[in-house]
Amino acid sequence: MSREEVAALVKKGRAVLLDVRPAVEFQAGHIPRAISIPIDELPARVSESPPDKRVITYCRGAYCLFADEAIALLRTQAFDVARMEGGWPEWADER
């Protein structure tokens, strides 16, 4: 999902942006309105993801697998999920 599509959905309140990088990376910088649930904490915190909105994951960039792992886990719980193109570095570079 493109970063522009993600921004539009989040702004309209139709999606939440889930940052699955380690907490220290989130604290160093993240996309506005993103929620931090590190991938190693996600199984225990899956209930924090809203079931009535699309959940869009991101992590360290195109080659980071954390976002894909989060999608796989959330799909087992019947969440509507997608991955944002790129990740934090690409978003930060565009700003």
pLDDT in tens, the chain (95 residues): 998 899 899 999 999 999 999 999 999 999 999 999 999 999 999 998 888 999 999 999 988 999 999 999 999 999 999 999 999 988 888 87
Domain range summary for the chain, segments of one domain joined by +: 3-94
Q: Pick the catalytic residue: 59, 64, 73, 81? A: 59
Annotated catalytic residue 64: no
Can you give the pTM of this predicted structure? Answer: 0.93
At residue 52, what is the residue type?
D
CATH no. for 3-94: 3.40.250.10
Can you give the C-alpha Rg of the chain in angstroms?
A: 12
